Amino acid sequence: MPELPEVETTRRGIEPHLVGQRVERVIVRERRLRWPIPEDLDIRLSGQRIERVERRAKYLLIGAQTGTLIAHLGMSGSLRLVPGDLPAARHEHVDLLLESGLALRYTDPRRFGALLWSLDPASHELLARLGPEPLSEVFDGDRLFQASRGRSMAIKPFIMDNAVVVGVGNIYASEALFAAGIDPNRVAGTVSRARYLKLGAEIKRVLAHAIERGGTTLRDFVGGDGKPGYFQQELFVYGRGGQPCKCCGTTLREVRLGQRSSVYCPRCQR
């Protein structure tokens, strides 16, 4: 599933081509996504100028003059700029035709993504209860420490909880915990403030570096320019169960936490 760096990479890739452009037409070939695409999306969006392209957690917010298109890539979705007259292939469900002659094309083989319209995205049910952005000034390790008090769940699913902090998915939670030297099995409420300060800093660093590297290519993900991400080449633990730790050589262990695979180094992480 595309995570925050992949979504931010997509946002940065498509933003220069969208802002200031007028949408001439919306072509919907398949409405049956995770939630049905609104029947009147073409009427609502056609003729409007795009004013901004933002991100909230793993949602892309394409703001027009009278509303916002909320896009979620699901497990296999992508948004790419293509020539407006390029014939659509299988699984290419939606085109936003722009006055520039380009089209923003939404592709989603598994159809777990979403394209929704909102007049007030901040209060939309998908966004209203989300926690802080991990790269914002309001998020840090001290905030994690305060939120963790009395929590009996393991620390990895704790930092993956979108009510605690948004966008720290499985890949980057694993990598940040390794960088901070924290065992993902540790009970969240027992981790010290000092270790949370380190973890908060590592979450910011790992996510920022992944964005710089264009995200992580896992199966279907490509950025808005159609190019893959390269952070996968630098993973220390994610997807490396049974392999030697890059730092100490100890065999990495793989467990399941919160129904997700978690790989860690029993020597480097405690």
pLDDT tens for 225-253 read 555 444 455 799 999 999 999 999 999 99
- What lies within 8 Å, CB to CB, of 122 at 6+ separation is 128
Band (223; pLDDT cuts 50, 70, 90): very low
What is the pTM assigned to this prediction? 0.87
The residue from 213, 246, 260, 267 that is catalytic is 260
Query: How do 92-98 and 23-28 pair as beta strands?
Result: antiparallel
Binding-site residue numbers are 91, 110, 151
pLDDT of residue 123: 96
The structure tokens listed for 220 are 């279907």
Band (215; pLDDT cuts 50, 70, 90): low
In the chain, where the domains are located: 4-123, 141-264
Share of the chain above pLDDT 70, in %: 93
Helix (H) or strand (E) holding 216: none
Q: Same topology for domains 4-123 and 141-264, yes or no?
A: no
Binding-site residue numbers for DNA are 91, 110, 151
Average pLDDT over residues 155-182: 96
pLDDT at 27 over 60: yes
What is the DSSP secondary-structure string of 30-73? Answer: ---SSSPPPTTHHHHHTTPBP-EEEEETTEEEEE-SS-EEEEE-
Specify whether 134 is catalytic.
no
Specify whether 266 is catalytic.
no
pLDDT at 112 over 50: yes
pLDDT of residue 258: 83
Distance between CA atoms of 215 and 7, rounded to whole angstroms? 8
pLDDT of residue 232: 54
User: Which residue did the predictor score with more confidence, 49 or 9?
Assistant: 49
Band (187; pLDDT cuts 50, 70, 90): very high
Average pLDDT over residues 20-48: 97
pLDDT of residue 1: 67
pLDDT of residue 213: 82
pLDDT of residue 218: 37
The residue from 58, 105, 195, 253 that is catalytic is 58
Find the farthest-apart pair of alpha carbons in the chain and give their distance in angstroms, rounded. 59
Band (3; pLDDT cuts 50, 70, 90): confident
Range 4-123 has CATH code 3.10.580.10: no
Q: Which fold has domain 141-264?
A: Helicase, Ruva Protein; domain 3 (1.10.8)
Specify whether 2 is catalytic.
yes
pLDDT of residue 2: 79
pLDDT of residue 233: 57
